[in-house]
Amino acid sequence: MIDKLSDEELKHAFKTERKPEVVEKQKLNVRYHVEDPVVEGRAQKFLEAFAAILKNTNYGFVLDQYVRSSAKCSRCATECQVYQATRDPRDIPCYRSELLLSVYRRHFTVGGLLKGRLFGSGYLTDEKVNEMAESFWNCTACRRCSLQCPVGIDHGLVTHLGRYILSEIGIAPRALVVSTREQLEGKTGNTSAIPVPALLDTLEFLEEDMLEEKQVEIKFPIDQENCEYVFFPAVSDFLMEADTLMGNAAVFTATGDSWTIGTGYFDGINYGLFYSDRMLDRIVKKVVEETKRLKGKKILIGECGHASRSAKYFVPVFCGGKDAPPVINCMEYLWEQLKKGRIKLDPNVITDVVTYHDPCNISRQGWIIDKPREILRSFCKNYVDMEPKGMKNICCGGGGGTVSIDEIRPYRTSIGGKAKAEQVRKTGAKYLVAPCANCKKQLRELMEDQGLDVEVVGLHDLVYKAIIFDESLKKKAQEQVPQPEESEVEK
Ligand code: SF4
Ligand code: SF4
């Protein structure tokens, strides 16, 4: 059980830096920045957007099931780390989902429409749209609550749909919209706005660093055709997570398998998963197009939970079903190579206590849970697990895209991440391994704000420290070092 926050802590968590004149102009009292939302007739526009989505998708089938469920067991409330911290009834998962389900029931079912005609009540109001705009971004879409629901309601899915409809009327966090716009329509074509020359400079610099540190020529192959793997890390890794990328490159150097980074498109991030299926579809297609341009066989996603999930589940949906290129996460690749004996890791390098955080997007449905643990246990002397873990893991508190919204950091680190901080504290870990760009950012901010002296790293960061290269690779690198010319003095 998580301690309820004091009134003072709650006030701090909900403090907003938005200017009152902006709130007044947008007529929207949410804690994140929004640009150009629909202001007049918001409820009507919401219903139109909802109707269009229902017409063009299968959401209606799922909602029909959900609106028939009437159990009120409250199991979801006990699983939700947000509700456990605030104890605000508005944070109970089924309360939040009911905001949208009641709109569906009233406006899109025969019974609801008849009742409306007979009693003339229950029409969606602007106030209720505003409440949804706040509520759906208080949820991290971690889907932990859904594991416990006896009638099978996926609150993460309802949150996603609610955000999608809102985004169609211009209500979405500016941080996500601006990044996605740059990725789909901007000059650089990626969410961090990294130009290709800057990318190449960074990679060259890292290659020099690795040669110096490991005495092995470790490369980031660029625009190579016919490779086994085309690599898409979260693009922010090129700015923030050099050690993770060096770990990725070191692993491929050790195995000798072919991989490449494409300059046509090199961003694994897909914020569409957090707020818009239309964006999700367009971004996934860019990944597939680049893989095809380079005639690559497989899509390799870096250490990033949502990037992995969006590619794994939506590449087949939007890009050719069974004919779509297979998607693999870099930890799955590493695990396979370790099992085959193609990677050797020194068990005497990482001696401090290490723990592992399961990113919700790869663990909740049971996809990647044991493999990273097996990798870590194989070379970390002091590995400890958090409880609960795996499918039942506790979210970092910045899930569902909320980590990208800097203005809600106090909320993320005192409410969303409170349970995670307590879990980490109990392990006494020095290294907190978080194989996800979003989790890493959130957990670093969480450790700082909660006063925990823990280093947040990627799994490949530790692998890079411990990897043992074949002597032949070292010899090859030495042979390629240019020999000094005979000096004038010696002549
Ligand atoms: S998805 Fe996570 S944050 Fe959202 S209601 Fe469920 S448990 Fe709470
Ligand atoms: S767990 Fe499911 S059935 Fe129980 S209250 Fe929550 S939404 Fe309703």
Residue 102, in any domain of the structure: yes
CATH number for the domain spanning 28: value is 1.10.1060
- From the CA of 91, give the closest atom in ligand 1: 5
- 222 and 106 belong to one structural domain: no
Based on the domain organization, do 309 and 235 belong to the same domain? yes
Tell me if 315 is assigned to some domain.
yes
Q: Which residue of 88, 144, 392 sits with most ligand 1 atoms within 8 Å of its CB, as the best mutation to test the pocket?
A: 144
Per-residue pLDDT at 491 exceeds 60: no
Q: Which residues line ligand 2 (CB under 6 A)?
A: 71-76, 93-94, 148-151, 153
Q: Report the residue among 76, 98, 142, 358 best suited for mutation to probe ligand 1: largest number of ligand atoms under 8 A from its CB.
A: 142
Q: Whose CA is nearest to atom 4 of ligand 2?
A: 73
Q: Which of 13-27, 163-177, 224-238, 275-289 has the lowest mean pLDDT?
A: 13-27
Cβ of 160 closer than 6 Å to ligand 1, yes or no, is no
Please choose, from the candidates 381, 380, 382, 386, the residue with its C-alpha nearest in 3D space to the C-alpha of residue 439. Answer: 386
Q: Whose CA is closest to atom 7 on ligand 1?
A: 80
- Please give the number of the atom of ligand 2 that sits closest to the Cα of 97: 7
- Cα–chain center distance at 121: 40
In a domain, 324, yes or no: yes
Task: Report which protein residue has its CA nearest ligand 2's atom 8.
Answer: 72
Compute, in angstroms, the gap from residue 77 CA to the centroid of ligand 2: 8
Provide mean pLDDT across the span 330-342: 98
Q: Give the residue, out of 92, 134, 143, with the most ligand 1 atoms within 8 A of its beta carbon, to mutate for a pocket test.
A: 143
User: Is residue 248 included in any domain, yes or no?
Assistant: yes
Query: How far, in Å, is the centroid of ligand 2 from the Cα of 313?
Result: 26
For the purposes of burial, counting CB atoms within 10 Å of the CB of 315, is it exposed (0-12), middle (13-18) or buried (19 or more)?
buried
**In this structure, are 350 and 327 located in the same domain?**
no
Q: What is the CATH number of the domain that holds 414?
A: 3.40.50
Is there a domain that residue 180 lies in?
no
Ligand 1 centroid to residue 48 C-alpha, Å: 27
pLDDT category of residue 1 using cuts at 50, 70 and 90: low
Ligand 1 touching residue 93 (CB < 6 A): yes
- Model confidence at 171, in pLDDT bands (50, 70, 90)? very high
CA of 136 to the centre of ligand 1 (A): 10
Residue 16: the pLDDT is 77
Nearest-atom number in ligand 1 for the CA of 83 is 8
| Rg of the chain taking only CA atoms, in angstroms | 24
Question: How many angstroms separate the alpha carbon of residue 155 from the centre of ligand 1?
Answer: 7
Which ligand 2 atom sits closest to the C-alpha of 155? 7
133 in the same domain as 220: no
> Which tokens hold the place of 349?
């390098």
159 part of a folded domain? yes
Domain boundary, last residue among 172, 200, 219:
172
The residue-averaged pLDDT of 411-434 equals 97
Please tell me the residue having the least CA distance from ligand 1 atom 2. Answer: 142
Span 362-366, mean pLDDT?
A: 97
Atom 4, ligand 1: residue with shortest CA distance? 139
Ligand 1 contact via 144 beta carbon (within 6 Å)? yes
Three-class SS of the chain: CCCCCCHHHHHHHCCCCCCHHHHHHHCCCCCCCCCCCCCCCHHHHHHHHHHHHHHHCCHHHHHHHHHHCCCCCCHHHHHCHHHHHHCCHHHCHHHHHHHHHHHHHHHHCHHHHHHHHHHCCCCCCHHHHHHHHHHCCCCCCCCHHHHHCCCCCCHHHHHHHHHHHHHHCCCCCHHHHHHHHHHHHCCCCCCCCCCHHHHHHHHHHHHHHHHHHHCCCCCCCECCCCCCEEEECCCCHHHHCHHHHHHHHHHHHHHCCCEEECCCCCCCCCCHHHHCHHHHHHHHHHHHHHHHHCCCCEEEECCCHHHHHHHHHHHHHHCCHHHCCCEEEHHHHHHHHHHCCCCEECCCCEEEEEEECCCHHHHCCCCCCHHHHHHHHHHEEEECCCCCCHHHCCCCCCCCCHHHCHHHHHHHHHHHCHHHHHHHHHHCCCEEECCCHHHHHHHHHHHHHCCCCCEEECHHHHHHHHEECCHHHHHHHHHHCCCCCCCCCCC
CA atoms of 458 and 460, how far apart (whole Å) = 5
The answer to whether position 481 is within a domain reads no
Q: Please give the average per-residue pLDDT across 93-115, as a whole number.
A: 95
Identify the band that residue 438 occupies on the pLDDT scale cut at 50, 70 and 90: very high
* Cβ-contact 148, 78 below 8 angstroms: yes
Asked if 162 and 19 sit in the same domain, the reply is: yes
Distance from residue 41's CA to the centre of ligand 2 (Å): 32
Distance 73 CA to ligand 2 centre (A): 5
When pLDDT is cut at 50, 70 and 90, the band that residue 11 belongs to is confident
List, for residues 121-146, the tens digit of each pLDDT value.
Answer: 889 999 999 999 999 999 999 999 99
Nearest alpha carbon, ligand 1 atom 8: 80
**Domain end point (choices 172, 195, 224):** 172
Angle between helices 93-108 and 59-68 (to 10 degrees): 110
Residue 338: its pLDDT value, please? 98
Structure tokens at 202: 């960074």
Q: Name every residue whose Cβ is closer than 8 Å to that of residue 308 and which is 6 or more positions away in sequence.
A: 268, 301, 327, 329, 361, 362, 368
Q: What is the mean pLDDT of residues 236-248?
A: 97
% pLDDT > 90, the chain = 87
The verdict on 289 and 308 lying in the same domain is yes
Structural domain total, the chain: 3
Tell me the best of 68, 97, 151, 158 to mutate to test the pocket of ligand 2, counting ligand atoms within 8 Å of each CB and taking the most: 151
Amino acid at 442: Q
With respect to residue 485, please indicate whether it lies within any of the assigned structural domains.
Answer: no
Per-residue pLDDT band at 14 (split at 50, 70, 90)? confident
Distance CA 438, CA 430 (A): 20
Q: Give the integer Cα–Cα distance in Å for 251 and 340.
A: 13
**441 and 357 assigned to the same domain:** yes
| 260 in the same domain as 155 | no
Phi, psi of 95 (to 5 degrees): -65, -45
Task: Read off the amino acid at residue 225.
Answer: E
Under the banding of pLDDT at 50, 70 and 90, the label for residue 483 is low
Same domain, yes or no: 392 and 253: no
Distance CA 291, CA 232 (A): 10
In a shared domain, residues 41 and 141: yes
Global pTM value:
0.94
pLDDT surpasses 80 at 319: yes
Contact 382, 427 (CB under 8 A): no
Domain stops at, among 283, 309, 338: 338
Q: Average pLDDT of the chain?
A: 94
Residue 155 CB–ligand 1 contact under 6 Å: yes
Report the pLDDT averaged over residues 424-441.
98
Q: What is the mean pLDDT of residues 330-339?
A: 98
Q: Is the CB of 246 under 6 A from ligand 1?
A: no
The confidence score (pLDDT) of residue 444 equals 98
Question: Amino acid identity of 310?
Answer: S
Confidence band of 71 (pLDDT split at 50, 70, 90): confident
Per the structure, the complete domain to which residue 292 belongs is given by 187-338
Lowest mean pLDDT among 18-32, 151-165, 253-267: 18-32
85 plus 222 within the same structural domain: no
Query: Between β-strands 467-468 and 344-345, what pairing exists: parallel, antiparallel or unpaired?
Result: antiparallel
Sheet holding 327-329, edge to edge: 259-260, 229-232, 298-301, 327-329
Q: Are 342 and 254 in contact (CB under 8 A)?
A: yes
pLDDT category at 478 given cuts 50, 70, 90 is confident
- Residues 405, 427 within the same domain: yes
Return d(Cα 329, Cα 233) in angstroms, integer. Answer: 10
